[in-house]
Amino acid sequence: MIIFSQASSFPCFIINCQFLVLIFLSTKLVSSLASYLFRFVSSLSELVSFSFLLVLL
């Protein structure tokens, strides 16, 4: 999606930069949310196994 005319390439370049920054920030946000979700699931499984051990005792 490269536009060769000089008059219209500069705003498109700015829009593409904003789009790339938006994609970058959204991927960072998704990865941090995934890591938090992974920590939450692992702690939840630890809690479930701990309560299961308490029930067995």
pLDDT tens for 32-41 read: 999 999 999 9
Instruction: Write down the pTM of the prediction.
Output: 0.52
For the chain, which residues make up each domain, given as ranges? Answer: 7-57
Query: What six digits make up the tokens of 17?
Result: 């930069």
* 46/4: higher pLDDT: 46
21, 13 contact by CB (below 8 A): no
